[in-house]
């Protein structure tokens, strides 16, 4: 497994923070533990736990449908949207 570069993580957060309408950015390791965030730690941990659970369910659906590998989840709600990108060793969660 590739080591996670802390400066790279900070740069990713900074890049998304600059975009209009972004409420939060959380970067997790591949197991769903937050590495860094621009939100309060307790909220980051809570969101990461829910998203990790959602990823598990999403992977089950993708596997059952024989659609390859899960790479992205987008949730639209009445208050905004949550986007989840799954990379090799990172999970990127964007709240918009």
Tell me the pLDDT tens digit for each residue of 50-64.
999 999 999 999 999
Rounded CA-CA distance 3/84 in Å is: 21
CB 23 within 8 A of CB 94: no
Q: Is the pLDDT of residue 3 over 70?
A: no
Q: Quick one: how many helices (H) and strands (E) in the chain?
A: 2, 5
**Can you tell me the mean pLDDT for 51-79?**
96
What fold characterizes domain 6-95? Answer: Beta-Lactamase (3.30.450)
Alpha-carbon span 39 to 56, nearest angstrom: 23
Q: What is the radius of gyration, based on Cα positions, of the chain? A: 13
pLDDT tier for residue 65 given thresholds of 50, 70 and 90: very high
Segments making up each domain of the chain, as ranges = 6-95
pLDDT at 50: 97
Tens digits of per-residue pLDDT, 12-49? Answer: 888 888 889 999 999 999 999 999 999 999 999 999 99
Specify the 3-state DSSP secondary structure of 15: helix
């Amino acid at each position: 497994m590739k080591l996670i570069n802390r400066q790279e993580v900070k740069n990713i957060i900074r890049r998304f923070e600059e975009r209009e309408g972004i409420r939060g950015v959380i970067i997790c390791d591949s197991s769903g533990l937050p590495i860094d965030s621009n939100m309060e730690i307790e909220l980051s941990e809570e969101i990461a736990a829910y998203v990790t659970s959602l990823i598990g369910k999403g992977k089950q659906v993708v596997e059952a449908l024989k659609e390859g590998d899960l790479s992205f989840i987008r949730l639209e709600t009445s208050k905004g949207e949550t986007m989840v990108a799954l990379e090799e060793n990172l999970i990127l969660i964007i709240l918009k």
